[in-house]
Amino acid sequence: MDWGLLLIQVVNGLQLGVLLFLVASGLTLVFGIMDFLNLAHGALYMVGAFFCATFTLLTGSFVFGILLALPAVALVGLAVELIVARRLYQRDHLDQVLATFGLILVLDTLAHMIWGAQGMSVSLPEWLRGQIRLPGDVLLPAYRVAIVAIGLAVAAAMYWIVNRTRLGMLIRAGASNRTMVSALGVDIASLFTLVFAIGAVFAGLAGMMIAPITQASIGMGNNIIIVAFVVIVIGGLGSVKGAFVGAMLVGMIDTLGRSFLKDLFKLLMTEQNAETASPAIAAMLIYILMAIILVFRPQGLFGPNMR
Amino acid sequence: MAVGEGMAGGVPVRRRARPGPTEIAGLAMLVGLALLPLSGDLFYLSLFTRLMVLAIAAVSLNLILGYGGMISLGHAAFLGLGAYCVGISAHYGIYNGWVHLALAVGVCGLFALITGAISLRTRGVHFIMITMAFSQMVYFAFVSLEQYGGDDGLVIHSRSQFAPFGSLSSNYTLYYVVLIALTLSVFIVWRIVNSRFGMVIRGARSNSRRMRTIGHNTYLYQLACYVLAGIMCGIAGVLMANFSDFISPDLIEWVHSGELIFMVVLGGGGTLFGPLLGTALFMLLEEYLSRLWVYWQLPFGVLLILVVLYARGGIAGILSMERKRRE
């Protein structure tokens, strides 16, 4: 067993985990409070990546790029909420699926018009390009470690906001009883808008952080949204804690599965069979995990009991 | 409860079905489709073959989504599985269409049974996400299966042969086979939804608890319905593979499942001919808009949002508006 490789893959798994958490937490918050299923959440991830690429190009600095892109994504989130999403809160889930599917087409095509079909790469500053040397001559890419650190910091901040602030109290109250909260005189419409924008910023931040690794491209959100769904289903709809645990599980299992399943299979079957079967099985692992969890807990690990 | 359906003292009242405007439009379209090849235009022949294949998929989705209220965002998986049954057999030199059909029915039925059994334990949004995730699982599985082309897909060198009737190699034969399959699938759905089985399915959509209380195991009914729809869509997949002579995992991507839902809702979910009309409108809009403008998906997306916000019930809803007003 190569422990250095294992450590690197664990960092990669954590990195995927925190990115998934950033996307899934917004999705689960919006769903928990507004009962709103937003397929276009992944498009905000893409918009974040493109804004970051543009602003990095303009300012010449990745950090400024992110700092400018964050409010820009918030504005896009606000626009989406005010123009389309708020008309859908009272509708059934089929309507929400369809309208947000339309929204994906609109946002993807707009991105295509503005930024072109090629996609944009983002260059990292010098200090993030290097490697971190650990004892035992294990080299870790600095940028991936930075993503994990920022992601964990955001998760901690979110935990604090949800559990310790007045806003968080309103969010939790809104999730359990919307009508009561608005009867108590809280402007529930602005609360929804705010939460939607926060979710957009988180998804956008995930897109910004992945952009230097994969580059910003059209349709990049359509892949992550599915995995974010798997995360939410595993963690339990509406639960931020569930989104965190689910994201880490999915990130780890997916990454480790893709790198080590082949070795595991080679112990069990012929080399050739292992070569063919393991990539397909590795790609299916998180879905199998989801199916197993659903068999035992249909509401997810931390979901409220289903009525 | 659907318009035109009445329950008097628990006894279903059968009214003599008057064909409404949607039915007339749908039947007219079938007749038109039967006459279309007479024009001899190969472009339209190909466009409408594809349209009808997708219409079969939409009709099968309508059975679970429109009538059963099960919002599956993973229906394209069955289209892909059916297509791969042809592709992988052809890869090994098996061109027997009966084998292709049997495989598609078996594979899609089994996949629907397993994923349906798990997905139907959940409700609402969970069901949407889980069906989507399962279809994505199939997608990634085929992407990683290098020996069947992986990302690049498979070229099918020869179309299915249905001994002793002959092969689908002629585009005209394929066209009419697809048309017959489409007509049959509409007919089957019509028979199903008006049967006792269909009543339970529709009852479970409007009030699942009530159906359980009066003694129906709605889970089993819905599962059976899900498997049936999966098999129907798998057969559409067999036809799709024959039509395009090429298959790739792209067929399964969840975006296509979204498009299928769009087709059903655009035409009018829970109506017999709605999916057919919706698919036609969708495909023709796609065909002509994409010629006019590179960014055709922009007006397309806006249209979709507008349909949801302002035109619920789709084409069927608009067509029957006048009738409802009179009633």
Tell me which residue of A9, A12, A297 sits closest to A143, measured CA to CA: A12
Query: Does A226 score more than 70 pLDDT?
Result: yes
H/E element holding A201? helix A188-214
Would you state the pLDDT for residue A148?
Answer: 93
pLDDT bucket at A151, cuts 50 / 70 / 90:
very high
pLDDT tens string A11-34? 999 999 999 999 999 898 888 888
What DSSP line would sit under B201-247, residue for residue? HHHHHH-HHHHHHTT--HHHHHHHHHHHHHHHHHHHHHHHHHHHSEE
Q: CB of B143 within 8 Å of any CB in chain A?
A: yes
Q: Does A228 touch chain B (CB under 8 A)?
A: no
A-chain residues within 8 Å CB-CB of B132?
A: 226, 229
The tokens for A195 are 């939460």
* CB spacing of A97 vs B258 below 8 angstroms: yes
Which helix (H) or strand (E) segment holds residue B161: the answer is strand B161-162
Distance CA A262, CA B117 (A): 30
pTM of the full structure:
0.86
Q: In the prediction, which pLDDT does B322 show?
A: 60
Residue B7: predicted pLDDT: 43
Which stretches of chain B drop beneath a pLDDT of 50? 1-13
Q: Which of A105, A112, A294 sits opposite B304 (nearest CB)?
A: A105
**3-state class (DSSP) for residue A61:** coil
pLDDT band at A238 (very low <50, low <70, confident <90, very high): confident
Distance CA A10, CA A5 (A): 9
Q: Contact, A217 vs A227, CB < 8 A?
A: no
Token pair for A298: 């249909």
Looking at residue B324, its pLDDT comes to 59
Averaged pLDDT, A37-53: 92
**Is the Cβ–Cβ distance between B129 and A290 less than 8 Å?**
no
Which among B259, B262, B265, B260 has a CA at the least distance from the CA of B316? B265
pLDDT 10s digits, A242-293? 999 999 999 999 999 888 888 888 787 777 777 777 888 888 889 888 888 8
Is A37 within 8 Å of B128 when comparing Cβ atoms? Answer: yes
pLDDT, position B260: 93
Q: Do A106 and B301 touch (CB under 8 A)?
A: yes
Q: Testing the interface with A: which of B130, B292, B308, B310 to mutate, by most A Cβ within 10 A?
A: B308
Are the CB atoms for A74 and A197 separated by under 8 Å? yes
Q: Please, which residues bridge with residue B8 across strands?
A: B11
pLDDT (0 to 100) of residue A251: 93
Chain-chain contact of B122 with A229 (C-beta, under 8 angstroms): no
Of B266, B285, B133, B286, the closest CA to residue A95 belongs to B266
Cβ neighbours, 10 Å, residue A168: 16
Cβ atoms of B72 and B269 within 8 Å: the answer is no
On the question of a cis peptide bond just before residue B299, with omega within 30 degrees of 0, the verdict is: no
Selected for mutation to probe chain B from A23, A36, A94, A273 (highest B CB count within 10 Å) is A94
State chain A's mean pLDDT as an integer.
Answer: 87
What pLDDT score does B80 carry?
A: 94
Give per-residue pLDDT as tens, A76-90.
999 999 998 888 888
Q: Is B184 helix (H, G, I), strand (E, B) or coil?
A: helix
Residue B278, exposed/middle/buried by CB under 10 A (0-12, 13-18, 19+)?
buried
| Shortest alpha-carbon distance between residue B317 and chain A (Å) | 15
The pLDDT score that the predictor gives to residue A114 is: 92
Instruction: Please determine, for residue A307, whether its predicted confidence score (pLDDT) is greater than 70.
Output: no
